[in-house]
Structure 1
Amino acid sequence: MDAVGREGGAAVTAEGFGVKGPRGWAFRGIEVDAAPGSLVAIEGPSGSGRTCLLLALTGRMRAGEGTAVVGGFRLPKQMSAVRRVSALAHVPGVTDLDPALTVAEHLRERALLQRRFDGSLRSLLRPRGERTTEAKLRIDTALTAAGLDREALPKGGRTAVRDLERVEALRLSLALALIGRPLLLGVDDTDLKLADAERAAIWDQLKAIAEAGTTVVAVCSEAPEGATVLSTAPADTDDPDDTDKEAADALAEAGRA
């Protein structure tokens, strides 16, 4: 299997993959072999290590046993390289939206950061008009992929995040992650507090993103039909809340990464 597909997605493989923290195993024994452009669902109840697995596969949390390869980069040895080719969306404590900012402000800020940290010196020295056009193209492409129509929002791009519906905020988080054109998109709590129709619409959107080439790994309580499913089991700790504590610690670390 090629590590990177022709459309830019990352292959994801893992053997005996597990993460252990001070309180015990968050998850272990994960096996996966997903081609570029796959939709991978991490399925399990809250507290079963789902978020920890998402963070580990995207290079934000160090594995304690086994190996994984994402886009040709081996975990845990090449975590920084995996972080560069992956992006996260809808992860509490890591990708939180600022409720006071507007949709347009979030998008402009992300496009500016993307150009500043990922662009070559030559691209940074291009005429301002060219840079503006490139940023607009990235934003428009990401919004389309995420299924967010700015014109359908109450105040268009000037709509504040606090005024977005839950599903709109999720779509905005997806768009912000996709601005960076990642090979792997990781999404947490995909179906949290969504109505059945909204949940189905989000899964359709994630399937479309995967079909366009970007590999998608999404946390959920119930995986959709057709997805590659990774099931997590409760961690082997004395306290049933310990896995959530491990995830909270990992989220804080991922936010600093």
Structure 2
Amino acid sequence: MDSPHTGAAVTAVDFGLKGPRGWAFRGVHCTAPAGSFVAVVGPSGTGRTCLLLALTGRMRATEGRAEVGGLPLPKKMTAVRRLSALGPVAGVNELDPAFTVAEHLRERALLQRRFDGSLRSLLRRPSVRRAAARARIETALTAAGLDLATLAKGGRTSVRDLERLEALRLSVGLALMATPRLLAVDDADLKLSDEERAQAWELLRSVAAAGTTVLAVCSEPPEDALRISTVSHDAHDAHSRSRTQDPTEEGAADALAETGRS
């Protein structure tokens, strides 16, 4: 098993998930060492989001086998959820547009302290706990490349007023507050200009370089990323003929209800 202080290696052999509307994905193979930057690719409707959720323990695979950090899926889904974190995933883990950036950060720090902190940390003086929360927030924002001073209203900026790349950085920063070994990001390059896309790839590369394995669903993957495809050569023609039978990314929430989620 990987060291708990490194990223999580990800492997899959004939990995597949069948939902209420047919196969979300099938026959997926991958070998990604710890600390890899991995692009999840495939045509829209081929289960990219479902694969992302399955490899982070949020959806139960129905075929083949996979391991994340040495933990087998779907047998150890709960353990895999603990070592992984989600960035933005539509319908599953989205930013609240009514919240400010600071409110999101405070809420995440509170949740981390309540559910992930040791008993000893919970017994610390309030001033010590607040200082630890501030340090956790600052470290995560630095890793995500988000400088609150550059936002229109600083931390009081509403999520609805963020640019797409700023929202991506915030989501990644919130996920990194859990110090995960695996970070999963859906639609990483959605609605980004070429310049913004390059900045997004640099962000995710830096997270991987710091030791956290990154899985990112994208439409135009960078050349240096490892790739996991949701469509094998053998399955491509079948997908083209029967696409309406497959759950799409937009149907991920339905499949979650069917297979269970945390």
TM-score by length of 2: 0.92
Question: 1:93 touches 1:251 (CA, 8 Å); kept in 2?
Answer: no
Q: 2:255 — aligned with what?
A: 250
Q: Which amino acid aligns with 2:223?
A: E
Question: 2:23 touches 2:246 (CA, 8 Å); kept in 1?
Answer: no
**1:34, 1:256 → 2: CA distance?**
24
Where 1:221 maps in the other structure, the secondary structure is: coil
Deviation at 1:8, TM superposition (A): 2.2
User: Aligned residues, how many?
Assistant: 255
Q: 1:119 — aligned with what?
A: 117
Segment drifting more, 226-235 vs 186-195: 226-235
Q: Which amino acid aligns with 2:95?
A: L
Judged with a 3 Å threshold, the aligned counterparts in structure 2 of structure 1 residues 147 and 252 are, in CA distance, closer, same or farther, namely farther
Question: 1:94 touches 1:255 (CA, 8 Å); kept in 2?
Answer: no
Pairing of 1:15-164 with structure 2 (within 5 A)? 15-164=13-162
CA RMSD of aligned residues (A): 1.9
Q: Which runs of 5+ in 2 are unaligned?
A: none
Q: 1:4 — aligned with what?
A: 3
TM-score by length of 1: 0.93
Q: 1:175 — aligned with what?
A: 173
**2:70, 2:21 → 1: CA distance?**
31
Where 1:240 maps in the other structure, the secondary structure is: helix
**1:179, 1:131 → 2: CA distance?**
15
Question: 2:60 touches 2:259 (CA, 8 Å); kept in 1?
Answer: no
Question: 1:21 touches 1:246 (CA, 8 Å); kept in 2?
Answer: no
**1:232, 1:4 → 2: CA distance?**
28
**2:78, 2:182 → 1: CA distance?**
14
Identity of aligned residues (%): 66
Deviation at 1:74, TM superposition (A): 0.8
Correspondence for 1:188 among 186, 201, 223 = 186
Deviation at 1:251, TM superposition (A): 5.0
**2:260, 2:193 → 1: CA distance?**
29
